[in-house]
Amino acid sequence: MTMSNDEIYPRSTARSGNTFRATFRGAEARGPIIDQEGREIPAESLGDRFQGFRFDFGNSSANPFGNLTREQRLARLDALAKLLDVAFVVPGTNIRYGIDGLIGLIPVIGDIITTAISLWLVREARALGAPWHVTARMLSNVALDGVVGLVPLAGDAFDVMFRANVRNVRLLRRWMDKQPR
């Protein structure tokens, strides 16, 4: 069964503000209500419990990182970079490694996973307002780490020594320290 555009798009497309609010009441609801077993629940049986149900993504308490300050976001990125690159020490040596080096031991898939996490760090830097030249250097660090990390064994040793995520957070912190408060 296909739906027409009138059923998909709301009649008014104008939005105000940066939040999306949807209120589901009576005839405004789109489609049947289905329980976990796949059976349809009649709207009459729900009563008044779901009247005024609303999504407010802009001020949601469901997003634990929604109301963080720039310093708190940078501290979160710093903690993640340290976990990825320097969280553990090889016993009896000063060699530090992180979960990036451990996950990278899984051929190809491990390097894809750690590169994706590193790219998320770059995306967060961009969200903090980092300019193109800072994010370009961060992306080059991630690319070098990802490409060389694909080489068996030598790439894993490179992952441990290069520490792309710590470098990227250091780049971001240097740029942020130069910005007026």
What pLDDT score was predicted for residue 19? 47
Query: What stretches of the chain show up as alpha helix (H) in DSSP?
Result: 5-8, 70-85, 99-103, 109-127, 132-149, 154-162, 164-178
Do 104 and 98 contact (CB within 8 A), yes or no? no
> Mind listing the pLDDT tens digit for each residue in 56-112?
555 555 555 567 788 888 999 999 999 999 999 999 999 999 999 899 889 889 999
Residue with structure tokens 């979160």?
Answer: 76
What pLDDT score was predicted for residue 69? 83
- CA–CA separation, 150 and 133 (whole Å): 26
Q: Which residue has the higher pLDDT, 34 or 99?
A: 99
- CA–CA separation, 106 and 82 (whole Å): 20
- CA–CA separation, 110 and 98 (whole Å): 13
SS3 string of 64-104?
CCCCCCHHHHHHHHHHHHHHHHCCEECCCCCCEECHHHHHC
CA distance to 27, 110, 121, per residue, from 113 (Å): 45, 5, 13
Do 80 and 161 contact (CB within 8 A), yes or no? no
> Mind listing the pLDDT tens digit for each residue in 133-171?
999 999 999 999 999 988 888 988 998 899 999 999 999
In sequence order, which residues have a C-beta less than 8 Å from that of residue 74 and are 6 or more positions away?
128, 169, 172, 173, 176
Q: What is the pTM of this model?
A: 0.63
Do 148 and 125 contact (CB within 8 A), yes or no? no
